[in-house]
Amino acid sequence: MTVRSHPGDELLLSYATGGFPFPFEVVLACHLALCSQCRMTASDLETLGGTMLEFLEDTPVQDGALEAALACLTEPAPAALPPAVDVDDPETVRLLPAPLRALIGRPMRELEWIDRGPDLSVAELSSMAESGAVMRLLRARPGVVLPPHDHGGTELTLVLAGGLVDETGVLHRGDLQTMGPGDRHRPAAEQKDGCIVLYATDGELIPVSESP
């Protein structure tokens, strides 16, 4: 399946230069894990970072800094980092991209899912994040429609399974949607499969009476 909805350059640049709060980084890292095109862009932006760093003027380090570093060197340097321990659960491995699995470190069904109605449940991941933005997994049964809303801040939503439908179209696994103040929509889970999405936001949802 090809990813069709991508973050813009300004998002990837904010990500690559370390300008985003942690929850946004997680959502973008998960998109990158599913999208080779954006991964290539992110890699380009890092290459650019390496070159930009060379343009940066030096600030002298303290006398003796090198000697202090040399005294700290462990020998020999380890040949490789120990491999990350992955979650051993087929459903979790199939649905959650590697960066999210590394973060939660357990099967997704063991997260604290909170029902928000008969057909909608949410797992709060913000406790693992710094303040300033929240991050959640949301699971909706087929056909569930959320109330129309505007956005008090930036919201990044990554579809992990099924389909998310709103006025702008249908999004599937790997697609990333960016919403901001003034963007109104009435998202719904696709009739066929429902959906699972990961989203992060630094603002509140603002209920509105009508979608555009």
Residues forming beta bridges with residue 185, ordered by sequence position? 149
The helix (run of H) or strand (run of E) holding residue 85 is none
Residues 147-186, mask of contacts with other proteins (x by CB under 8 A): -------x-------------------x------------
Name which of 200, 204, 150 is nearest 28 in CA terms: 200
Stretch that binds other proteins, among 73-81, 106-114, 118-126, 140-148 (CB under 8 A): 73-81
DSSP state of 148: P
Q: Which of 48, 109, 167, 191 binds other proteins (CB under 8 A)?
A: 48
Alpha-carbon dihedral of residues 6, 95, 25, 149, nearest 10 degrees? 70
- Determine contact, residues 84/102, Cβ cutoff 8 Å: yes
Residue 71 makes contact with other proteins by CB under 8 A:
no
Q: Which residues contact 161 (CB under 8 A, 6 or more apart)?
A: 95, 173, 193, 195, 196
Identity of the residue, 71 or 115, whose beta carbon is nearer to other proteins in the bound complex: 71
Residue 191 makes contact with other proteins by CB under 8 A:
no
Residue 46 makes contact with other proteins by CB under 8 A:
yes
Q: Find the shortest distance in angstroms from Cβ 105 to other proteins.
A: 8
Q: Which of 63, 72, 88, 210 binds other proteins (CB under 8 A)?
A: 72
Name which of 17, 14, 11, 16 is nearest 157 in CA terms: 11
**Which positions touch other proteins (CB under 8 A)?**
8-11, 13-14, 16-20, 22, 24-26, 29, 32-36, 39-40, 42-62, 65-66, 68-70, 72-81, 84, 97-99, 102-103, 130, 154, 174
